[in-house]
Each structure stands twice: as structure tokens, then as C-alpha cells.
């Protein structure tokens, strides 16, 4: 007997259940647009060749240089937490292999992605620039000032505190989603929101473990 897929029947992919549907459902990802975007991105294109058999597993995967590709359920949750729609301008900090940027592009966002590790940035550019993503090599904690403000900012590495330049580059009504906590320890996904008058509030959500956010200077 085959279990039915969670969610509306109209949201299923051609293969039956969309990619990672059960894992996304379990973590509370239910936005149809986010589910479609997650289903449309083949994760195997973003993992090292020797780890292709792990691409369909809901877990982080090392991609070299001390970095990882995040678990799909966390990518889906962070994407949904941004509350962005097609056409939104989004900053992706920590390009890595480009998986998060590709999901945002599939959602219809205008994506700007920053990676500090040059080798990873160059590899990822070849994957995501054909999708319309703009990339650069640099310190993601500084954002992308010349392209600000952003309708959403997502960070795929943990910082001990929220970098102020990222908060400053949020548009009114926008959200920043970032892991906050000690390197190597348990962290929390913090959702920072700037309201229309420019006041900033935040709330802590899921417990997570991310690699540390690398900086060009302490």
C-alpha cells in the first residue's frame, strides 16, 4: 500500500510525491509556491559527484572547503520564512554550491548571491548564473550595498550575532533569516523583520547546526 502525499493533489510533481514532500510537510513548509520551487530543483546537480547517492537524503552534505549544502527541509523552511513572492529582490549569503539560490530563482525571485570561498563561488556561478542569479565573491556579512535594499535576506552560515549591515540593507517590510549561535554548537534560526516605519524586531525559531559565517576580518 502506498501512502498518499501530504498537501493538495494539484501540487504533486509528475513523479508522484514532489521531492522531499514528507520532510517539508513535517517541518511545516506548506506554501504551494515554495513546494513547487523545491520540487523543480534537482539537488543532485548541487552535490559533489562522489556524493550523488546522498542527494535524495534529507541531510546536509559536505561540498568541500569546510562548507556544506543544507538539508532540504531547512532550505524550504528558510525560504518560506522569508515570505517573498515572484519578483522579490533577495540576497543569498553563503552561495555554497548554489542550491538555495536555485530554489529562490525557481520561486521567481531576483537573486543576488555572495560567497567568500572563491573556488565555491566560481563553481556555483556556473550553475546558477544561467538561472538569472547574480553572484559575487566577498564577505557576505557586509551584504551587497550597491544592490540594497532587499525584500529578503537569507544566510546559510551561523553568526554569533546578526550582522548590522544586513539589517540596514533590508527594505521596509522585509525579513532576514539567519542562524545565530556559537560555531560548532547548537544555533537558532532567527527571523528578523523590519516594519514599514523601519523598526526592527526578531524572533527565534528552529534549533539548527550550520557552519560558521566566514569573515574577511574579525
| Residues with a known catalytic role | 70
Nearest to residue 144, comparing CAs of 90, 215, 67?
90
Question: Cα–Cα distances in Å, from 199 out to 74, 107, 126, 174?
Answer: 27, 27, 38, 11
Measured distance CA(127)–CA(43) in Å, rounded: 12
Grid coordinates representing 39?
520540487
Measured distance CA(64)–CA(120) in Å, rounded: 8
Instruction: Output the CA angle 180-145-38, nearest 5 degrees.
Output: 55
Amino acid at each position: 500500500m502506498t501512502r498518499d502525499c501530504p498537501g493538495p493533489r494539484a501540487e504533486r510533481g509528475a513523479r508522484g510525491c514532489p521531492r522531499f514532500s514528507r520532510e517539508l510537510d513535517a517541518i511545516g513548509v506548506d506554501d504551494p509556491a515554495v513546494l513547487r520551487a523545491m520540487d523543480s530543483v534537482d539537488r543532485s546537480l548541487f552535490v559533489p559527484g562522489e556524493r550523488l547517492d546522498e542527494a535524495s537524503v534529507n541531510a546536509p552534505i559536505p561540498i568541500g572547503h569546510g562548507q556544506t549544502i543544507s538539508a532540504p527541509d531547512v532550505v524550504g523552511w528558510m525560504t518560506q520564512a522569508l515570505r517573498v513572492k515572484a519578483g522579490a529582490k533577495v540576497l543569498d549569503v553563503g552561495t555554497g554550491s548554489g542550491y538555495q539560490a536555485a530554489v529562490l530563482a525557481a520561486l521567481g525571485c531576483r537573486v543576488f548571491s555572495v560567497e567568500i570561498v572563491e573556488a565555491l563561488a566560481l563553481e556555483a556561478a556556473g550553475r546558477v548564473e544561467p538561472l538569472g542569479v547574480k553572484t559575487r565573491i566577498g564577505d557576505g556579512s557586509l551584504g551587497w550595498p550597491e544592490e540594497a535594499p532587499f525584500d529578503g535576506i537569507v544566510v546559510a552560515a551561523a553568526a554569533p550575532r546578526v550582522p548590522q549591515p544586513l539589517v540596514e540593507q533590508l527594505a521596509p517590510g522585509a525579513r532576514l533569516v539567519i542562524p545565530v549561535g556559537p560555531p560548532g554548537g547548537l544555533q537558532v534560526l532567527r527571523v528578523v523583520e523590519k516594519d514599514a516605519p523601519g523598526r526592527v524586531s526578531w524572533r527565534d525559531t528552529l534549533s539548527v547546526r550550520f557552519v560558521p559565517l566566514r569573515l574577511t576580518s574579525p
